[in-house]
Every structure is written in C-alpha cells, then in structure tokens.
Amino acid sequence: MSKIHILKSPLSLLLILGALAVLSPAWGDDITDPYAAMGITRPDHVLAAHNFKLATLDGKHVSLNDYRGKVVLLNFWATWCAPCRKEMPSIQTLWNHYKDQDLVVLAVSEDDGAREQITKFIHKINVNFTILLDHDLKIGDSYILPGLPTTYLIGRDGTIAATIVGTQDWSRHEAQALIQYLLDRDH
C-alpha cells in the first residue's frame, strides 16, 4: 500500500489551508460574527437574566423586567475601579448612538453606600444613562461577578446573550455591530 505525502513542503500546507478556508463556512463566519469580532463567545446554553429591583441615583426604583422587549447592557462597576472608570465614557457613546433604538443601559454601582461619591463621579465624567445602587452587593452576588467591570448583554427575550468580563471600548465599530445585531434579532 502506498502512502500519499502531500505535506512535504510548506507551500503544500499553505495550499491546503487556503482551500480549507475557502471551503469551510466556519472560517468565514468569524469575520461576520459580531460576537467573535468583540472577542466574545456565545453562551453554551440559554440563561434567563435574574430579575432585580434597585434604586436609581434619584431615588426611583427600577426592575430589570421593566425593560423586557428591549436590549439591555447591564454593567457592574464601582467608582474605585480604574478599568470601570475608563470604560464608562465609551458606554455613554454607545448609549447615545442607540438609546432611541431600544437599547437600555443599566450601570449597577457596587460601591458601598456612598451615593454622593457616585453622583459626583457620574457628573464629572458626564454620563446620563441609568445608574443603579447595589449597596449591599446582593445583585452583584446573584450574578456571580468574576470581577469588575462585568457586563451582561441581555436580549429582548430576557436571556443573557453575552457576558463580558473586563474593560471594553463600547464606542468601537465592533461593539456597535454587536449591539445592532442584538437590536435587529427578534424584532
């Protein structure tokens, strides 16, 4: 029995890899997949986002279920978290772009009771999306935060579409493409 040795040269290997790239739809999908463009993997299974009710900076109470039917960017952050502070202006940019298209931003402060400190910080960086206060950290604990910042993207159906740990530049084209994808899905 004879063996075929087609990988005897680097050129042969490149030709085979090139052919696979053209023939395999999975390779091409990474280019147009908004999750992959952000470096995010889709959840392995569908999880409903935990409902909660928290106070806003101005004392009103909101529930996550209040926003069913909209895409929610649920961001957990704190004023003492340098990466969180860095990320907030880009969240504002994203929200400015999509706030009239059913995107809701809920930024849950994991600070321990310093409402004045949070308010001062929010005014300093000039953000005006909804800030929620989780003084006792119960909501953060229910979401089992691996660190701050952590962001959950929640689809219109109330399920978690993605979990992002760490700082993101939400003003990037790739972030906008992901949000647009979620807004267009199930609409």
Sign of the alpha-carbon torsion through 170, 176, 181, 182: positive
Q: Is 142 helix (H, G, I), strand (E, B) or coil?
A: helix
Average model confidence (pLDDT) for the chain?
85
Residue 77: CB atoms within 10 A of its CB come to: 23
Distance separating alpha carbons of residues 62 and 131, to the nearest angstrom: 10
Please give the residue that has the higher pLDDT: either 112 or 60: 60
Phi, then psi, of 129 in degrees rounded to 5: -80, 175
- Measured between alpha carbons, how far is 175 from 177 in angstroms, rounded to an integer? 5
Rounded distance between C-alpha atoms, residue 94 and residue 24, angstroms: 34
What's the pLDDT score for residue 42? 83
pLDDT of residue 129: 98
- Three-class SS of residue 152? strand
Contact 104, 70 (CB under 8 A): yes
**In this predicted model, what pLDDT tens digit does every residue of 61-115 receive, in sequence order?**
999 999 999 999 999 999 999 999 999 999 999 999 999 999 999 999 999 867 9
pLDDT of 47 over the 50 cut:
yes
Domain boundaries, the chain: 37-184
Single out the residue of 113, 138, 123 nearest to residue 52, CA to CA: 138
**10 has a pLDDT exceeding 80:** no
pLDDT at 14 over 70: no
- Return the DSSP state at 159: B
CATH topology of domain 37-184: Glutaredoxin (3.40.30)
- pLDDT band at residue 187, thresholds of 50, 70 and 90? low
pLDDT of residue 20: 35
DSSP per-residue codes, 16-72: HHHHHHHH-HHHHHHHH-HHHHTT-PPPSS--BPPP-EEEETTS-EEEGGGGTTSEE
As a whole number of angstroms, the distance between CA 36 and CA 32 comes to: 8
pTM over 0.85: no
With a pLDDT cut of 70, the percent of the chain lying above it is 82
Q: What is the pLDDT of residues 103-159, one digit of tens each?
A: 999 999 999 867 999 999 999 999 999 999 999 999 999 999 999 999 999 999 999
A 10 A CB-CB count for 105 gives 22
Going by pLDDT thresholds of 50, 70 and 90, the confidence category of residue 36 is: very high
- If 0-12 CB within 10 Å is exposed, 13-18 middle and 19+ buried, where does residue 32 land? exposed
Residue 49 in this model has a pLDDT that exceeds 80: yes
For residue 6, is pLDDT > 60?
no
